Chain A
């Protein structure tokens, strides 16, 4: 009996060592995360913050590379056509993943990727100037219906999530807005302060950072937001909408399962690390995580939702 137990124990130990030795095959060299926007922006800062604890969990090195241009599609394409060995992945935000492919021909689509994890997601908010005459969403919608096209709705880029959210709002309520594209958040914000535009959709951290100059008419999220429970959602005001601003790690299609699993668990550990959660708190961003399968299903559903809205607005390719 004793011999059997010893043998079993030895077997378990051997299998255990074998497994861990196998797991240690990845990573054998530094992993590159491609960020499809310029260094110093929101996606870049989040990725660089995550890279360190994630590398520690992975037991290797992580290099962040910025490949900017064309609304993030250049970096997304670079990720899609990288060698599928798990050593090149991309931190891909909602825009290049789920709105840009509907606007024009791109060398990738959701089938071009393997999905590792969702790294962040934050609700968006419809913001107006603090001294705006509109009290709430219904107030603004009623005015917009009476005066079709009179209200100016600023968008940070054509086909971006804030734009898609505005299209969704118009479709759901029958209100008409004049969409005015600016280039990025800062010029859009400026245009609202100078009176050119009446509203735009922003990331929740923008709202908390500029709380003395803007206020929220509605949060575009299915539930009230942690830390901002006092802000009504659009659903509370009769127009259910959900337009999160998210990003996650994807890899070129066909990476080894072992690499995918290692990256997924390192991502999860990194996201729940103190370093990452604390930085997210100062940036006033909620911490969120989804594993591989859940993330893929989520991307595909977002992809279909945004296609419907963009094609409906005549912006589809």
Chain B
């Protein structure tokens, strides 16, 4: 506690304060804009950080990181386009809520849940960084494969009501991610001899196309239909405490899922948000309302993706292993500033470690106020005449799709994604499984093949590892869950009516 107070002392200087504020505001902004995300935000400020002092430089980057993971939710809620892949799960219940005119309330839920998730994971980081880091080393390729397979269940859970269609879009997502170089052999797959295609279909242009452009196409196509007159509330509304109470279980569970997934290097906020959403949809007492604008869905997604931010620092700081591209860039900055992440950091630079903790706490609180103020602006966007709003979405989406890799092919991918997404929507196919498939495809395939190399080709050896076995069993239980529940209900029914 004393160390934390010291850390806070380091942080509450004018320079650091402004760095945190600027970082958080910028982070929320890049998060809101589809296509721009955490990585682009951090690389934008990278040149500035070289000339800054160590702590303000870290403050700036951590602000962007946390702000951007939250910011994506605003666009997901307002226009059904996740601003970042991390917020794809938020759109599932956030957008239906906004359609009812309650965008202000939806953003309130998302902002509060993000802040709580972020603070929860900072607490995890403070209390258990070295232990969690050591635990994460139990996850080899084999365990990542088991975790990836477990996460696939999310596809089924978000597709309820359109199961066959959901599984199909999930499979398309899994397939799309295999285009490009085969990572284990280096061979090219499904590129049809085109050199440009060898870079593969990257997630962000695909998401921008499938969500943003297809939303525009759909609205243009529906233009002749009479629209329900919805009065869009403007501003920011926090949900009352009584609404929180029945959802505390979901909140806590989602924070834990996010913190756990975040601590494993290589699995990020997108995966954790979907796992958490899908678990909430399975177990929440409001599960019947999911997909129709249920706050628990927003809570699950947003608290889990922000709970990744703190715990993703666990392997980064304690082992020197960045968990995702964002922490990789941050790690580079640490090194430029003469810091060497790894076990020694906690021995020799404890003051700095605590300064990082303090920055994370302050940044998460700032994020709340940024959201509250920003919502005044963003909710007004919903009152902009639709043709203008949609034109803006197209421009932003195209800039975002190109900006990631500077590859013109990404524009084609975004456009085709838009057409494909439009057709899928017309056919009543859920879009979220596509993202889940694309995100998990690489983890599952690579870790399976790395695992088979490690076991010299034996599948059986996968089941000899306790954590992997546990995850496989959990997966099996989840798959059988509806049957178990059906059996239980039949059993109860037969007991109540014993004729």
A: residues with CB less than 8 A from B are: 38-42, 44-45, 48-49, 65-71, 73-74, 77, 103-107, 152, 157-159, 178, 180-183, 186-187, 189-191, 193-196, 205, 209-213, 279, 282-283, 315
User: Are the CB atoms of A213 and B195 closer together than 8 Å?
Assistant: no
Q: Which residue of B lies closest to A213 (CB)?
A: B342
B374 within 8 A of A: no
In the complex, A38→B188 CA distance in Å? 21
Residues of B within 8 A of A180 (CB): 450, 453-454
CB distance from A68 to the nearest CB of B (A): 5
In the complex, A40→B329 CA distance in Å? 5
1/0 per residue B43-55: CB within 8 Å of A?
1001100100000
User: Are the CB atoms of B343 and A213 closer together than 8 Å?
Assistant: yes
In the complex, A279→B446 CA distance in Å? 36
Residues of B within 8 A of A191 (CB): 140-141, 450
User: Are the CB atoms of B185 and A158 closer together than 8 Å?
Assistant: yes
For the A-B complex with A48-B47, A69-B407, A187-B266 known, give 6 more contacts whose Cβ atoms are closer than 8 Å: A40-B328, A68-B199, A158-B184, A158-B186, A194-B139, A282-B336
Assuming A67-B407, A181-B184, A190-B265, is B43 touching A209 (CB within 8 A)? no
Q: Write 14 A-B pairs (CB below 8 A) sorted by A numbering.
A: A39-B46, A40-B43, A40-B328, A45-B332, A67-B405, A69-B199, A104-B186, A104-B198, A158-B186, A187-B265, A191-B450, A209-B320, A210-B342, A282-B337
User: Are the CB atoms of A181 and B183 closer together than 8 Å?
Assistant: yes
CB distance from A188 to the nearest CB of B (A): 10
User: Are the CB atoms of B196 and A74 closer together than 8 Å?
Assistant: yes
Residues of B within 8 A of A182 (CB): 446, 450
B406 within 8 A of A: yes
Assuming A70-B181, A180-B453, is B186 touching A39 (CB within 8 A)? no
Residue of A49, A69, A194, A283 near B138 (CB, 8 A) is A194
Q: Which residue of A lies closest to B326 (CB)?
A: A40
User: Are the CB atoms of A212 and B336 closer together than 8 Å?
Assistant: no
Assuming A38-B325, A40-B39, is B336 touching A194 (CB within 8 A)? no
Q: Which residue of B lies closest to A178 (CB)?
A: B453
Those of B435-489 within 8 Å (CB) of chain A: 442, 446, 450, 453-454, 456
Residues of A within 8 A of B187 (CB): 104
Assuming A152-B454, A283-B336, is B188 touching A104 (CB within 8 A)? yes
CB distance from B415 to the nearest CB of A (A): 18
In the complex, A49→B338 CA distance in Å? 16
CB distance from A33 to the nearest CB of B (A): 12
Residue of A69, A178, A212 near B342 (CB, 8 A) is A212
CB distance from A315 to the nearest CB of B (A): 7
In the complex, A186→B40 CA distance in Å? 20
User: Are the CB atoms of A70 and B199 closer together than 8 Å?
Assistant: yes
User: Are the CB atoms of A212 and B186 closer together than 8 Å?
Assistant: no
The listed residue with most B CB atoms (<10 A of its CB), out of A40, A49, A152, A211, is: A40
The listed residue with most A CB atoms (<10 A of its CB), out of B315, B322, B406, is: B406
User: Are the CB atoms of B39 and A38 closer together than 8 Å?
Assistant: yes
CB distance from B444 to the nearest CB of A (A): 13
User: Are the CB atoms of A66 and B405 closer together than 8 Å?
Assistant: yes
Residues of A within 8 A of B181 (CB): 70-71
Those of B396-427 within 8 Å (CB) of chain A: 405-407
User: Are the CB atoms of B325 and A40 closer together than 8 Å?
Assistant: yes
Assuming A70-B198, A74-B198, is B405 touching A158 (CB within 8 A)? no
Residue of A40, A71, A74, A152 near B407 (CB, 8 A) is A74
B344 within 8 A of A: yes
CB distance from A186 to the nearest CB of B (A): 5
1/0 per residue B351-374: CB within 8 Å of A?
000000000000000000000000
CB distance from A159 to the nearest CB of B (A): 5
Residue of A39, A196, A213, A279 near B320 (CB, 8 A) is A213
Q: Which residue of A lies closest to B44 (CB)?
A: A39
In the complex, A270→B315 CA distance in Å? 36
User: Are the CB atoms of B335 and A209 closer together than 8 Å?
Assistant: yes
Q: Which residue of A lies closest to B139 (CB)?
A: A194
In the complex, A64→B199 CA distance in Å? 20
In the complex, A40→B180 CA distance in Å? 23
CB distance from B29 to the nearest CB of A (A): 18
The listed residue with most B CB atoms (<10 A of its CB), out of A67, A191, A212, is: A212
Query: Which 4 pairs from chain A and chain B are nearest by CB?
Result: A69-B199, A40-B329, A158-B186, A39-B43
CB distance from B423 to the nearest CB of A (A): 27
User: Are the CB atoms of A77 and B407 closer together than 8 Å?
Assistant: no
B99 within 8 A of A: no
CB distance from B27 to the nearest CB of A (A): 15
User: Are the CB atoms of B188 and A195 closer together than 8 Å?
Assistant: no
Residues of A within 8 A of B183 (CB): 157-158, 181, 183
User: Are the CB atoms of B450 and A69 closer together than 8 Å?
Assistant: no
In the complex, A70→B139 CA distance in Å? 27
In the complex, A84→B137 CA distance in Å? 50
